[in-house]
Amino acid sequence: MTHGAKSILLIIGGGVAAYKSLELIRELARRDIRTRAILTRGGAEFITPLSVSSLSGEKCYTDLFDLTDETEMGHIELSRSADLVVVAPATADLMGKTANGLANDLASTALLATDKPVLFAPAMNVRMWEHAATQRNVETLQKDGALFAGPNSGEMACGEFGPGRMAEPLEIADAIDAYFAKSASGPLTNKKILVTAGPTHEPLDPVRYIANRSSGKQGYAIAAALRNLGADVTLVTGPTSIALPAGINTVRVETAREMMAASEAALPVDCAIMCAAVADYRPSIETDHKIKKERGGLTNIPVAENPDILKTVSQLQTNRPRLVIGFAAETDDVLCYAEAKRKRKGCDWIVANDVSPGADCPMGGERNEIILITDKGDENWPQMPKDEVARRLAVRIGEALAGPSLVKAAE
C-alpha cells in the first residue's frame, strides 16, 4: 500500500528479536513509509546504529542528552514528527515504563511525550508475557489507546515454547497498513465487503477430511487490499497456515456449511468476493471413530452436495450485494468454463485462473495470472504477485461501487 508522506518512529527495544526490526524497516520502505528510529541501549547489544541508519536513510537516535540532537530535533519533536510510533521489539520493561508513566531514557521519554498512537509488538519469554504484572500493563496500555501486533506463539530463543515471540515483520507492517487505512479516507470508505478465502475441510472421521490445495493467500491479499482502500472487511476463512490480515473482522470456519452460515450472517454488504475454494461435496456420514481400511470402510464413501455459496449470494432476492465476484480455478478450457460459471451462478464478475499441473501459477503459489470476466468482456492480466493482483482488483471494485448500481448478471 502506498500511503504518500506517511512516517513512523520505530523504537527498537533490547532482545534477540531486535534483528527483525531491520527487515521491518526494509518492508516499510517498500510500502513508501518513512522510518526514523530510536535504538535503546539494550537493542544496541543486538544490532548497530549503523545498520539501522543504513536501511532507514535517517540518523539513528540513541542518547537522550545529545546536545546536537536537542538543537536540531529535540526528543519532544522526534516523538511527534511521525504519524505513528511503533515499538518493536516491545520489551516488558518498555511497556511497563509506558504504562506507569516512567521516562529515564530517550525511548521511554519519547513514548511519554508523543501525541501520536503507539503500536507495540511485544517480545519476551513466555513466563514474562504471562506474568500478572505484564498483563496488567498490557491492559493499561490498551485502555490508554495503544495498539498491539502479536505476540505470536512458538519456540523462544531460551528454548521454551508459548506466546511471546515478536510478530513477523510482514505482520507488523500489515498492522501499520491497517492503522493508516483506518485513519484515512479511501475510495472504499464506508463500504462493507465480504471476502471468503481458503479451503474447506469436510470431515470423514476424527482423523480424515476432504479438502483441496487452496492456501488462502489470494483471498487474504484481497481482504488486505480492500482494507487499505478504507473498506470495512469481513473475512470468512477456512483452515489456513498463514497470518491473518490485521484490521479485519475475521471469522474462522472449517466446513462449507459453516462458511455458508458465516457468509449469510455478514450480510448485507456492498460487495461479496467469493475467493474460497469450497468443497463441492462432503461425506454424508461422519463417524466418531477412525474408519479402518482393512474393513473396506474407505472404498465406498457416500457423499452429499454442499451448499453453493456463490450461487446463493448471487441470486438473493433481498440483501443481494451490488457486486458479487466469483472465482474459477480451472485446469483446461479456462475461459469457456469460467464464462459458463458466471452465467450459471448469476454473479457479476468471475476471476479465472489456470491451475493445471503445467501452469506457471499453481494453487498455493505466490503469483497469479488471471482473466477478469465481466458483462463488458474479458481482460487477461499478466502474471504478477498475488498482492498486486489484489491491489488492482480492489481498485476496480472501488471504481465499480462508485458508479451506478450494477445490473445482475444473467442467470
Residues 294 and 241 in one domain: yes
Query: Quick one: 338 and 302 in the same domain?
Result: yes
Mean pLDDT, the chain, as a whole number?
Answer: 87
pTM above 0.95, yes or no: no
What pLDDT, on the 0 to 100 scale, is given for residue 241?
A: 87
Q: Domain of 359?
A: 185-402
Same domain, residue pair 358 and 216: yes
Q: Is the pLDDT of residue 276 over 70?
A: yes
192 & 174 share domain: no
Q: Could you tell me if 34 and 161 lie in one domain?
A: yes
191/165 same-domain check: no
Those residues whose C-beta lies under 8 Å from the C-beta of residue 72, and which sit 6 or more positions away, are: none
**Domain of residue 376, CATH code:** 3.40.50.10300
For residues 147 and 250, membership in a common domain is answered with: no
Question: Is residue 115 included in any domain, yes or no?
Answer: yes
Please check whether residue 121 is in contact with residue 150, taking contact to mean a CB–CB distance below 8 angstroms.
yes
Whether residue 411 is contained in a domain is answered as: no
In a domain, 2, yes or no: no
Do 338 and 206 sit in the same domain of this protein? yes
Tell me what pLDDT residue 357 has: 62
Greater confidence (248 vs 290) lies with 248
Residue that has been written with the C-alpha cell 495498539 in this structure: 147
The rounded distance, in Å, linking the Cα atoms of 234 and 8 is 27
Residue after which a domain boundary falls, among 149, 179, 209: 179
- Shared domain check, 161 and 287: no
Nearest CA among 149, 31, 26 for reference residue 387: 31
Q: Does residue 1 belong to any structural domain of this protein? A: no
Q: For 156-195, what is each residue's pLDDT tens digit? A: 666 777 788 899 999 999 899 888 877 766 889 889 999 9
Residue 75 lies in a domain: yes
- Do 32 and 90 lie in one domain? The reply is yes
| Residue 82 near residue 28, CB atoms below 8 Å | no
The listed range with the strongest mean pLDDT (128-142, 291-305, 396-410) is 128-142
Domain boundary among 119, 151, 179: 179
Q: Is 12 domain-assigned?
A: yes
Q: What is the pLDDT of residue 362?
A: 65
Question: Which of the residues are catalytic?
Answer: 158
For the chain, what is the domain count?
Answer: 2
Res 359 pLDDT > 70: no
Specify if 407 maps to a domain: no
Query: Would residue 86 count as lying in a domain?
Result: yes
Same domain, 21 and 158: yes
Looking at the fold, whether 206 and 175 belong to one and the same domain comes out as: no
* Domain end position, chosen among 179, 213, 245: 179
How large a percentage of the chain has pLDDT more than 90? 54
Mean pLDDT, rounded, for 348-366: 75
53-78 confidence digits (pLDDT tens): 999 999 999 876 554 555 555 666 77
**Three cell numbers written together for 7:** 512516517
Predicted confidence (pLDDT) at residue 234 exceeds the cutoff of 80? yes
